[in-house]
Amino acid sequence: MNLQYDVSLKPYNTLSLDVKAAYFVCINDLYDLDAVRKFCLDQKCPWLLIGGGSNLVLTQDFEGLVMFMSMNQVFWPVEAASTEPMDHFTVIVQAGYDWDLLVAESLLRGASGLENLSLIPGQVGAAPVQNIGAYGVELKDTLESVEVFDFDTGKAFTLAAVDCEFGYRDSIFKRHQCWIITQIQLRLSLNHKPQVGYGIIADTIKVLSGEVAAKASPQQVRDAVIHIRSAKLPDPKDIPNVGSFFKNPIVSDSKMKTLARQWPGLVAYAIGSNEHKLAAAWLIDQLGWKGFVQGEVGVHEHQALVLVGSGVATGKEILDLAQRIKADVAENFGVMLEVEPRLFNGRGEFYLEL
């Protein structure tokens, strides 16, 4: 275990928040996790695991130990000797592997299932925590199992996908924060059926390739998703951000109808017979927040869901702006927005209350 002291975390979070970790270490294998656990027990200090840093807001110097996930191997299946045609294969990926690189490599190997999740930032280990999703596809659609290290007990175990309690941007891992994901297993299809139910995907495929969406290849779907996301979301390397800052709220059918009468043009999607998902970006945009700037923080000029920093902004400034937006939406729409990234102070995770 190569322990470092007073390390700036600015390079390890996409909001470029310049807070320090009292202790810092890279995790290269399970032996490192065992050593780090013993250190934290001996020092009685808190710990925090960071991957790509694209889904967290650091508001203070961290008083304990920060781990950076460096386990980054991927195990593709060896070509089978059988002449029987296969309709799928499984791949095992360690938590520190780059997510979008995994998507790109899966397509090169003729597999599909991940292309709609292209250009989502971060590491593989963060994917199950959020049950990442985009354009009609979620991680749970391909996930088979997750390998976990319990930091409280020091035990490692396997969790089947069915036991991960996946929901919209939610999973069991949010309720067991001592569980560290070390690797995942995915089942990828060799019989491509494009998921192009979102109109913007179909339209973009047509524009980029001239192909009818229903006949699009996995690469054409990926190209379309990359084109859309690049146009909508700023690159954190250019403008510090964590992508969508708020989840799309889910409301009852009656609430949706009430809002639609009050706000013509309301953007909502049915997710069942009695519930609708509202477009949080639309709600925020209607209240004039898009393009708002105050001091070192603001709302992106093209995407109302994205809060941005200047590179010298603080986590407190980001959260103060988020609170103002939450309060405004609650007052005008009667809808409570939920923050999507995880929030940390000097001792650990906390939750933003209105």
Average pLDDT over residues 19-37: 97
Query: What's the confidence (pLDDT) of residue 272?
Result: 79
Average pLDDT over residues 199-228: 92
Q: Give yes or no: 8 in active site.
A: no
* Closest by Cα among 259, 93, 53 to 181: 93
Per-residue confidence band for 231, with pLDDT thresholds at 50, 70 and 90: confident
8 A C-beta contact, residue 46 and residue 6:
no
Contacts with 210 (C-beta within 8 Å, 6 or more apart), sequence order = none
Write down the pTM of the prediction: 0.88
- Which tokens is 336 given? 């409570």
CATH architecture for residues 4-69: 2-Layer Sandwich (3.30)
All CATH 3.30.465.10 domain ranges in the chain, comma separated:
74-193
Spatial separation of the C-alpha atoms in residues 334 and 264, rounded to whole Å: 16
Q: How far out from the chain centre does Cα 293 lie?
A: 25
Which listed residue (138, 244, 317, 342) is catalytic?
244
Which listed residue (37, 169, 222, 342) is catalytic?
169
Mean pLDDT of the chain: 94
CATH code of the domain occupying 234-350: 3.90.78.10
Higher pLDDT among residues 85 and 26, named by residue: 26
Query: What's the confidence (pLDDT) of residue 3?
Result: 95
Q: Give yes or no: 79 in active site.
A: no
All CATH 3.90.78.10 domain ranges in the chain, comma separated:
234-350
147-156, 321-330, 345-354: which range is least confident on average?
345-354
Q: Give yes or no: 340 in active site.
A: yes
Per-residue confidence band for 351, with pLDDT thresholds at 50, 70 and 90: confident
Fold of 74-193: 3.30.465
**∠ CA(16), CA(22), CA(25), 5° rounding?**
80
Query: Is the pLDDT at 82 greater than 70, yes or no?
Result: no
Q: What is the pLDDT of residues 294-329, one digit of tens each?
A: 999 999 999 999 999 999 999 999 999 999 999 999
Handedness of CA 135, 136, 142, 145 (dihedral sign): positive
Average pLDDT over residues 110-124: 95
All CATH 3.30.43.10 domain ranges in the chain, comma separated:
4-69
Which listed residue (63, 296, 301, 340) is catalytic?
340
